[in-house]
Amino acid sequence: MKEENMKILVIGSGGREHTLAKVCSNSPLVDKVIVAPGNGGITKEFLTFPLDVEKNDQIVTLAKQEEVDFVIIGPEVPLCNGAVTTLASEGILAYGPNKEAARLEGSKAFSKDFLAKHGIPTASYGNFSEIQPALEYLSTCSLPVVVKASGLAAGKGVLICSTLKEAEFAVQDMLDGASFGDSGREVVIEEFLEGEEASLHLICSGENYVTLPISQDHKKVGEGDTGLNTGGMGAYAPTKLVTDEMLIEYENSIVIPTLKGLKADGIDFRGTLYIGLMLTSNGAKVLEFNVRFGDPETQVILPLVQEDLVPVLIQSAKAGTLPSKLAIKNQSAMIVVLASKGYPESYPKGEVIQQPELSSEDSQIIHAGTQLNEKQEIVSAGGRVLGAVGWGESLEQARDRAYELCEKIHFTSKYFRKDIGHKEFSRT
Cis bond before residue 257 (omega within 30° of 0): no
Residue 24's SS3 state is helix
Of the two residues 195 and 206, which places its CB atom closer to ligand AMP in the complex? Answer: 195
Q: How far is the CB of 278 from ligand AMP (least distance, A)?
A: 6
Cis bond before residue 50 (omega within 30° of 0): no
152: which residues sit within 8 A by CB, 6+ positions away? 76, 77, 80, 105, 106, 183
Q: By CB under 6 A, what part of segment 368-397 binds ligand GLY?
A: none
Q: By CB under 6 A, what part of segment 100-139 binds ligand GLY?
A: none
Dihedrals phi, psi of 70, to nearest 5 degrees: -155, 140
Count of positions (residues) in the chain = 428
**DSSP-derived secondary structure for 187-252:** EEEEE---SEEEEEEEEEETTEEEE---BEE--EEETTTEEEE-S-SEEEES-TTS-HHHHHHHII
Q: Should residue 273 be labelled a site residue for ligand AMP when binding is judged by CB under 6 A?
A: no
Q: Should residue 146 be labelled a site residue for ligand AMP when binding is judged by CB under 6 A?
A: yes
Q: Should residue 297 be labelled a site residue for ligand GLY when binding is judged by CB under 6 A?
A: yes
Q: Which residue is nearest to ligand AMP (CB)?
A: 288
**DSSP-derived secondary structure for 152-180:** --TT--EEEESSHHHHHHHHHHHHTTTTT
Q: How far is the CB of 109 from ligand GLY (least distance, A)?
A: 18
Q: Should residue 232 be labelled a site residue for ligand GLY when binding is judged by CB under 6 A?
A: yes
Instruction: Choose the contact partner of 287 out of ligand GLY, ligand AMP, none; CB within 5 to 8 A by kind.
Output: ligand AMP
**DSSP-derived secondary structure for 334-355:** EEEEEEEEEEES------B-B-
**Which of 121, 261, 276, 320: binder of ligand AMP (CB under 6 A)?**
276
**Which of 102, 175, 287, 313: binder of ligand AMP (CB under 6 A)?**
287
Is the distance from CB of 390 to CB of 399 less than 8 angstroms?
A: yes
Q: Should residue 141 be labelled a site residue for ligand AMP when binding is judged by CB under 6 A?
A: no
Q: How far is the CB of 225 from ligand GLY (least distance, A)?
A: 14
Task: Select the span of 21-29, 192-200, 261-269, 379-387 touching ligand AMP (CB under 6 A).
Answer: 192-200
Cα 56 from Cα 87, distance rounded (Å): 8
**Which of 17, 217, 362, 424: binder of ligand GLY (CB under 6 A)?**
217
Q: How far is the CB of 297 from ligand GLY (least distance, A)?
A: 6
Report how many residues bind ligand GLY under the rule CB under 6 A. 8
Residues at the contact surface with ligand AMP, assessed by CB under 6 A? 123, 146, 148, 155, 158, 160, 190-193, 197, 219, 276, 287-288
Residue ranges in contact with ligand GLY by CB under 6 A: 155, 217, 231-232, 290, 294-295, 297
